[in-house]
Chains A and B, each alone.
Chain A
Amino acid sequence: AQKITQTQPGMFVQEKEAVTLDCTYDTSDQSYGLFWYKQPSSGEMIFLIYQGSYDEQNATEGRYSLNFQKARKSANLVISASQLGDSAMYFCAMREANSGGYQKVTFGIGTKLQVIP
């Protein structure tokens, strides 16, 4: 089974509008972490936001917020007030516990967001 599922291959949003990028995950661990990364056309992966499985509040970082619904195993990224520079690929990822103590992170296949002027 896919550990991270991003069902939207592409999304369009009007500048200044909000957009939600979907992510569902699958794990049997109690302790895990969820991330969103942005990848502009230049190629570098940019960390956006992190949510721990025990965090009770949804994570927020500026215009980014993570809508964490643990029972539904979803971790959607909400971008408010979209800007042209938000056009990029967005990847959802999950870190699960490893017996060695180091992190192994699984990535989804990504969603391409296009912001329209």
Chain B
Amino acid sequence: DVKVTQSSRYLVKRTGEKVFLECVQDMDHENMFWYRQDPGLGLRLIYFSYDVKMKEKGDIPEGYSVSREKKERFSLILESASTNQTSMYLCASSWTGEETQYFGPGTRLLVL
């Protein structure tokens, strides 16, 4: 079974803090994705990566950066957390050429 894990299920941070969200997949997937999910807005793509050290902006990259130093790990970084970044963050991964994205359990981030 494909397994995608995220470092925290729940996280509480203060405004201005630097926040790291980690995602690890164990299926040698080329592609990895970070989404945020907000009520009434569905899932919106923040960044994705199709190879090590490669990254592409999604629909809402502002205020975020990413890092992919190893194939299995994709990190989302909030350089200076703000209250409007309070959200559910979902990581996903997939093989190139296969249709399905596999998701992690999500991280609920609260920025105070």
Contact = CB atoms under 8 A, between A and B. Distances in A.
B50 interface: yes
**Which of under 10, 10 to 19, 20 to 34, or 35 or more describes the interface residues of A?**
20 to 34
Contact of B100 (A4, A50, A91, A100): A50
Nearest to B40: A109
**Which of under 10, 10 to 19, 20 to 34, or 35 or more describes the interface residues of B?**
20 to 34
B84 interface: no
Nearest to A108: B42
Interface string B20-46: 000000000011010100001111110
Contact of A109 (B33, B41, B56, B105): B41
A45 B100 contact: no
Contacts of B50: 100-102
B42 A43 contact: no
B99 A107 contact: no
Interface in A61-117: 91, 93, 95, 100-110
Interface of B: 9, 30-31, 33, 35, 40-45, 48, 50, 56, 58, 88, 90, 92, 94, 96, 99-106, 108
Nearest to A46: B103
Contact of B42 (A91, A103, A104): A91
A5 to B, nearest CB: 11
